[in-house]
Amino acid sequence: MTTSIPATPFADPATAERLERAAAALTAHGFTVEILDDAAAARTRVRDLIPEGASVFTAASETLRLSGIDADINTSGRYQAVKPRVLVMDRAVRGDDIRRLLASPDVVLGSVAAVTETGSLVVASGSGSQLPAYAGGAARAIWVVGAQKVVPDLSTALRRVEEHALPLESIRAQAVYGQPSAVNRLLVLNAEPHPGRGTVLLLREAVGF
């Protein structure tokens, strides 16, 4: 007789032990990791991490929106915010300029769909606009990650993308863009080869998708 395994509760915050395990694995893989209490603490920490005047691209992220970090970057005037700049550029005429601005800012700031206890970050994207900067184009990358995104391993991370993050993102995309989202591109960051480049702010609370 086969016993069915219940679905992982992908919306539930990970325990302190699991957060520590993920943080230790990420650190061993070259990422800088800080465990913070909540989104408010991450908002304060982001201000400390990003120097005034830096060019910053905020990837689409409910975590950044809900925490107020997206507004801090794009409306405060403290930074050379990339997103407001590209939104007013004519894509038909300046498509190459937009591509370059998104791919190589001083800092890219966003979140991920999952972080594994084995030390990997998993990013899913419909357009892929944030992936070049995440993968290495940006001088620095900062990811703010809610505790519900911690999963045991890569296979579970991919399940989380398809079963949890995608349906929620599709609802958001339908409301904003008039069409559902899709997992057109996947990026798995297994290690950070450049010390100090990639920072993960791992929260003890659930935030975002």
Task: Write down the pLDDT at residue 79.
Answer: 98
Where would I find the H helices in the chain? 16-28, 39-49, 62-67, 69-75, 82-87, 91-103, 131-132, 154-160, 166-177
Task: Write down the pLDDT at residue 166.
Answer: 95
Query: What is the residue whose two structure tokens read 């450049």?
Result: 194
Q: Residue 111 pLDDT > 50, yes or no?
A: yes
Task: Write down the pLDDT at residue 16.
Answer: 98
Q: How far apart are CA 137 and CA 100, in angstroms?
A: 9
Q: What are phi and psi of 198, to 5 degrees?
A: -105, 125
Q: How far apart are CA 187 and CA 121, in angstroms?
A: 8
Can you say how many angstroms the Cα of residue 166 is from the centroid of all Cα atoms in its chain?
A: 14
Sheet holding 114-116, edge to edge: 150-151, 114-116, 121-125, 185-189
Q: Residue 188 pLDDT > 70, yes or no?
A: yes
Q: Residue 4 pLDDT > 70, yes or no?
A: no
Provide mean pLDDT across the span 100-116. 98
Domain ranges of the chain: 16-203
- 30 and 200 Cβ atoms separated by less than 8 Å: no
Q: Which two tokens stand for residue 58?
A: 């905020």
Residues 114-160 pLDDT 10s? 999 999 999 999 999 999 999 999 999 999 999 999 999 999 999 99
Residues 12-56 pLDDT 10s? 999 999 999 999 999 999 999 999 999 999 999 999 999 999 999
For the question of whether the overall pTM of this predicted structure is more than 0.75, the answer is yes
The confidence band for 2, taking pLDDT boundaries of 50, 70 and 90, is very low
**Residues pairing with 34 in the sheet:** 201
The confidence band for 8, taking pLDDT boundaries of 50, 70 and 90, is low
Residues 153-180 pLDDT 10s? 999 999 999 999 999 999 988 898 888 8
The confidence band for 63, taking pLDDT boundaries of 50, 70 and 90, is very high
Q: Which CATH class is domain 16-203?
A: alpha beta
Task: Write down the pLDDT at residue 5.
Answer: 39
